[in-house]
Structure 1
Amino acid sequence: MKKLLSAAATILAVACLLTGCNEKDSKIKIGVIQLVEHPALDKSYQGFVDGLAEAGYVNGENITIDYQNAQGEQANCVTIANKFVNDKDNLIFAIATPAAQAVANLTKKIPILVTAVTDPETAKLVKSNKKPETNVSGTSDLTPVAAQIALLKKIVPEAKKVGLLYCSSEANSIFQINIAKEACAANGLEYIEGSVSNSNEIQQVTQSLVGKVDAFYVPTDNMLAAGIANVAMVANNAKLPVIGGEEGMVVSGALATYGINYYELGKLTAKQAVKVLKDGANPADMPIEYLEKFDFTYNKETAAAIGVTISDNL
């Protein structure tokens, strides 16, 4: 038996030498909590994983990533957050505001990086976006809301009234909607708010605004992003354009957007993670970061279906 154990130990040691095992690196655990599955958040996660790999932190080799999806349920966010805290993870990556809030409420010690959070300060995750002074930092998905409303006016110059669709319980959505209201006023547009509290209300609320508005605007709202196909179905049947907050909405049937690249946002957050893991950086001193480049995207099929011509100069 002793000979067998000795042989096994030798084999393990040789394997570690051949694969570059490192006892310290192998203990790095990163917990990932994602609020819900939809293209924008999925891309943020993939960008984060790829960004870490490019920096030499490869899942399954020298780090372990524990990915958990809350399926849009706040109770699941709390359960997952508790798991990561109990596991004593080295770093927690939270995707979307409710997921970030759940984790931040349970630990003040484990470094937390967030993404797809429009305004961490308003969400009370940090004391200031410039200097967090908490164990939380990360990246914001603040999109050019005013430019998106201006885009709506360019595409539909005859529009007089806009339906603003959002989830009333998402702080990031309310933040964007307030900007959208100001942008509507600046562009000579009236607006009607269409708020929902759960995904089952999306189709009904959208339908209730048909005949009352000339177009819809949907910010980077997690609930609406996950249910954007329902919005698009109602709006497209009524030949009403939908300007979305991000590209994934356009892919799923909205007309157009002028927004950020969530994959690149995830990679930007990965750079912050490397600073924490490798250099010992403290999130309290790390400003919230933003992408500076925005992309125009439109759905050709939707444009044809609702009879809208997209100008080449857009």
Structure 2
Amino acid sequence: MSLLPRLSAVALAMGLAASSVWADTKSVAVTAIVEHPALDAVRDGVQAALKDAGYVAGQNLKWQYQSAQGNTGTAAQIARKFVGDQPDAIVAIATPSAQAVVAATKSVPVVFSAITDPVAAKLVKNWEPSKTNVTGVSDMLALDKQMDLVRQVVPNAKRVGMVYNPGEANSVVVLKQLKELLPKMGMTVVEAAAPRSVDVGSAARSLVGKVDVIYTSTDNNVVSAYEALVKVGQEAKIPLVASDTDSVKRGAVAAYGINYRDLGEQTGRIVVRILKGEKAGDIKPELSTKMELFVNPGAAEKQGIKLSDALVKSAAQVVR
């Protein structure tokens, strides 16, 4: 008896099994405007949430990630490439990448993350379900609490410096809010533009002699070049207060901010809902609510101040 029919049957069965596995495979494409610890933590949190839900890269999940390396033109290219791949969902981390992806598709589900104000960035019309292909998670912070921390770090601060990218919508929103808030607190904001990461150091130096403290938002140019800011802070004895807790590990004095790994996991759980059949436009955009205080007494000394014992004791993490 010939083995050919039997081998053909085996091959057919294997082919059917493989096609079944392939049919069950989901595809998630992730892009970020730049690589720095906070945004990397978001990416890793998304992947962890997917794994917790049973979606494992290389098994039943096609996972791809690309960074635009701080270039908005590259972000647009990545967006078009990902849309052409037709994944089950695209995760866009940080405002410029999210804007690029949303501009590139009206059909592929888009989940934004680490966006300060998705409404101002024109990703969604409001905080209700968009009824489009877009949803996500915001890292918007209560600026009054941020400025309370500035006061605790530098009690007599009157002039608050801010280095920012005027081309990044989330940073423009924060600057506008500070201009409205600080006069009510007896303070003023002094701005310094850094359109590119390489401009951060010179922008910070332009604030020397003009400010009592420098506050850094989640501006991606600034965070990606934070060491340049720290250098100026140490040389000029200007304390740095951040909104990104990872920046404290890199030399900021203190930060009351979001845990970006948690933000990524929160984002990932939304992606899971989409992979299981929910429409992005039916999912209400979310805010991250878990806040933590990080302090760095050593950085404070290098920047000319001493943190109060009470502030250090209240911190979730003390960086040594």
Q: TM-score range by the shorter chain?
A: over 0.9
Cα distance between partner residues in 1 of 2:235 and 2:209? 12
Question: Shift in Å at residue 7 of structure 1?
Answer: 8.8
**1:112 equivalenced with 2:110 (yes/no):** yes
Q: Corresponding residue for 1:131?
A: 129
TM-score (norm 1): 0.92
* Residue 304 of structure 2 is aligned to residue 302 of structure 1: no
AA of the residue aligned to 2:288: L
Q: State the Cα distance separating 1:95 from its structure 2 match.
A: 0.5
2:285 paired with 1:288: yes
2:316: which partner in 1?
Answer: none
CA, structure 1 residues 185+282, in 2 after alignment: closer, same or farther (shift >3 Å)? same
Contact kept? 2:214, 2:240, Cα under 8 Å: yes
Structure 1 residues 1-314: aligned runs within 5 Å: 6=8, 9=11, 12=14, 22-26=21-25, 28-278=26-276, 280-314=277-311
Cα distance between partner residues in 1 of 2:310 and 2:27: 48
Q: Secondary structure in 2 aligned to 1:313?
A: helix
Q: 1:2 to 1:34 in 2, by over 3 A?
A: farther
Unmatched segments (≥5 aa) in structure 2? 312-320
Residue aligned with 1:142, SS:
coil
CA contact (8 A) 2:251 2:299 kept: yes
Residues 110-131 of structure 1 show CA distances to partners (whole Å, capped at 9, x for unaligned) of 1000101111111111111223
1: distance between equivalents of 2:104 and 2:79? 7
1:52 alignment partner AA: L
Q: Confirm or deny: 8 A CA contact 1:126 1:133 kept in the other structure.
A: no
Aligned-residue offset at 1:4: 11
User: How far 1:184 sits from its partner (Å)?
Assistant: 1.8
Measure the CA separation in 1 of the matches of 2:198 and 2:91. 29
- Partner secondary structure for residue 65 of structure 1: strand
Deviation at 1:219? 0.7
| Whole-angstrom CA distance in 2 between matches of 1:78 and 1:287 | 25
Paired amino acid for 1:24 = A
Structure 2 distance, partners of 1:75, 1:2, is 56
Write the distance in 1 (CA, Å) between the matches of 2:227 and 2:180.
27
RMSD: 2.2
8 A Cα contact 1:150 1:183, kept in partner = no
TM-score between both structures, scaled by the size of structure 2: 0.90
Q: How far apart are the structure 1 equivalents of 2:70 and 2:192? A: 20
Cα distance change, pair 8–198 in 1 and its aligned pair in 2 (3 A): farther
TM-fit CA distance, 1:241: 0.5
Please give the alpha-carbon distance, in whole angstroms, between the structure 2 residues aligned to 1:303 and 1:11: 66
1:246, 1:260 within 8 Å by CA — same for their partners in 2? yes
Percent of aligned pairs sharing the same letter: 39
Q: How many residues align?
A: 309
Contact 1:168–1:196 (8 Å) recurs in 2: yes
Q: In 2 relative to 1, CA 126–3 (structure 1 residues): closer, same or farther, beyond 3 Å?
A: same
The secondary structure found in structure 2 opposite 1:154 is helix
Determine the C-alpha separation between the residues in 2 that align with 1:154 and 1:77: 38
